[in-house]
Structure 1
Amino acid sequence: MTEQSPARRRLSRRTGFGLAMTASAAALVMFAASPALASPLFVGGARGLTAENAIQGAFDDARISAQAEGFYGACTVVGEPQVFETFTDPLFGHLFHAQVAMTCAR
């Protein structure tokens, strides 16, 4: 087995370090670019006298927000609509608030 010269060892260390840094930079770029390729999440909110009206209003609000950003394609609801019920609204007394999250295609 032959022993490497000190200059050759330094060169191989530098090469290994350079390759590791290049791989790390490439992974960082791929990690940062992946969310940019995904469709953004639009969240809409609304209130209504019934839970159904509040959910429909929240869905419309999210769709209008998506269209304002140029996403006119089909929309997909992410998760379940969230509905909150209140009995202390100063104007209506009993009221429902809803929140819907969705993604839309361009």
Structure 2
Amino acid sequence: MQEINQNLAEEAGLNITHICLPPDSSEIIDEILKINEDTRVHGLALQISENLFSNEVLNALKPEKDVDGVTDINLGKLVGGDAHECFVSPVAKAVIELLEKSGRMLLEKCC
């Protein structure tokens, strides 16, 4: 999968750097914070093991660099109906578009 992403990125003129840390690494938040401050980096996709998957790790990422839309801020905006004000992951965006094209409302707003 990583090789496919690399090839697609190159075709689009994007530069991808893969940072690999041990699965039990305690350095992940430090690495995320460094990337947040790197102006050459415009987005970060986290591929982390289940034992590192936590709100602390996800929310260490700046929402504007969150290409998966997993930070509390991006998820909150998406769920709250402000998808135009946040990054929406490609999968969530596809689901939203399919629902809109179907013409069906799955949830009704109350009040």
TM-score using structure 1 length: 0.23
Structure number with higher strand proportion: 1
TM-score using structure 2 length: 0.23
Structure with greater contact order relative to length (CA < 8 Å, sep ≥ 6): 1
Computing the radius of gyration from Cα coordinates, the structure with the larger value is 1
